[in-house]
Amino acid sequence: MPDDRLQRRADGLAARVEALAEALHAGGVSEEASAELLSHASAAVLQALRLELLIEQPEAPAIPRRDLVPVIRLAA
């Protein structure tokens, strides 16, 4: 099931962001710098998951040319 795979992917990425947060705290990185880095990491996770969803979506079938509505161009 694709939802399970996507959920596993999301969980794995969330675990990495959490590990990054712990490493930043353990390394003594300032709260401000940590917040900025974690904000970027979270945004990257969301973008990665959106891409996963786009890749999983089936392609829309092509519309046969005869089914297209003719375009009427109006003079300006």
Chain centroid to Cα 21, Å, comes to 20
Dist CA 12 CA 5 (whole Å) = 11
Nearest residue to 53 via CA among 15, 3, 1? 3
Which tens digit of pLDDT belongs to each residue from 67-76? 666 666 676 5
Which tens digit of pLDDT belongs to each residue from 36-51? 999 999 999 999 999 9
Domain ranges of the chain: 2-60
52 CB-near residues (< 8 Å, 6+ apart): 6, 9
